[in-house]
Structure 1
């Protein structure tokens, strides 16, 4: 039972990190052309990096379904960062 709980907690932490990164991106988008854009971009970068760490930890113990979802989160975050760098 503790192993299952650890898997679930790791997945939930990764999910929360992903959500926070997506929210930070929304804040960045609303700040385009405004004075605080740089601050929002830095915040987004920090949130994405933290989400990657959480996802990597969760991947180590994930079930098959969780693994697929976590990989999708990674791809989504990579796409988000790729869009910014273009």
Structure 2
């Protein structure tokens, strides 16, 4: 297996983290709190958020300063999402 250059690893890690964050955010925006499937949607959201957190943690290990700032904003937004949905449980 060919080893990617360090910068490509950084970019791929960042892109994976960004994609995970965007998926969690999209799911968060579609949750309907009075829906019959809210519990299922909430569980799915929490799984997505946990996955996004892991991707962000991995990306932070190799991130540039600019990427690190963006990744930390992603984490902050994810924490806010979790905080808001927990109010409805």
- TM-score scaled to structure 1, two decimals? 0.93
Q: State how many pairs are aligned.
A: 84
Q: In 2, Cα distance between the equivalents of 1:64 and 1:7?
A: 11
Unpaired runs of 5+ residues, structure 2, are none
Q: In 2, Cα distance between the equivalents of 1:20 and 1:69?
A: 16
Structure with greater helix percent = 1
Deviation readout 1:19-71 (Å, 9 max, x if unpaired):
0000110121xx22121111110110000000000000000000000000000
Consecutive aligned runs of 4 or more in structure 1 exceeding 4 Å deviation: none
Partner of 1:14: 17
Unpaired runs of 5+ residues, structure 1, are none
Q: In 1, Cα distance between the equivalents of 2:71 and 2:21?
A: 9
Pairwise CA distance, 1:5: 0.2
CA RMSD of aligned residues (A): 1.0
